[in-house]
A = this chain, B = another copy of it.
């Protein structure tokens, strides 16, 4: 039995909110390709370092990126696990539309459930 973590409503809110800004999506893309320090990221945007720092924090709270310390730098890298869960959630909406839903836990989609079986 694979313990598949389900996102709560609040977590899902945070993830979609984090994805709802082009700068943050860009940061996600860049850190998906390669780990980047906050100042490396900040260098390419037309806003203050502190602003970029805040965008990274939003991504971090949504657990879309992970930050680790290396000397005085903070290296940011994308973590695809939450993205995968969100993709699965969106797929469920499409399945609902197609009338493809039969399993109860799919109907309960977003509502808290302890665990379920892996399929992906």
Interface residues of A (CB under 8 A from B): 9, 12-13, 16-17, 19-22, 25, 28-29, 32-33, 78, 80, 83-84, 86-87, 90-91, 93-94, 96-99, 101, 109-110
Contact = CB atoms under 8 A, between A and B. Distances in A.
A90 B83 contact: yes
A8 to B, nearest CB: 9
Kindly report how many copies of this chain are found in the complex they form together.
2
Contacts of A20: 13, 16-17, 20
Tell me if A's interface is mostly helix, strand, loop or mixed: helix
Nearest to A95: B32
Given A20-B20, A32-B96, A83-B94, 9 more contacts: A16-B19, A16-B20, A29-B93, A29-B96, A32-B94, A32-B97, A80-B93, A84-B94, A87-B87
B86 A90 contact: yes
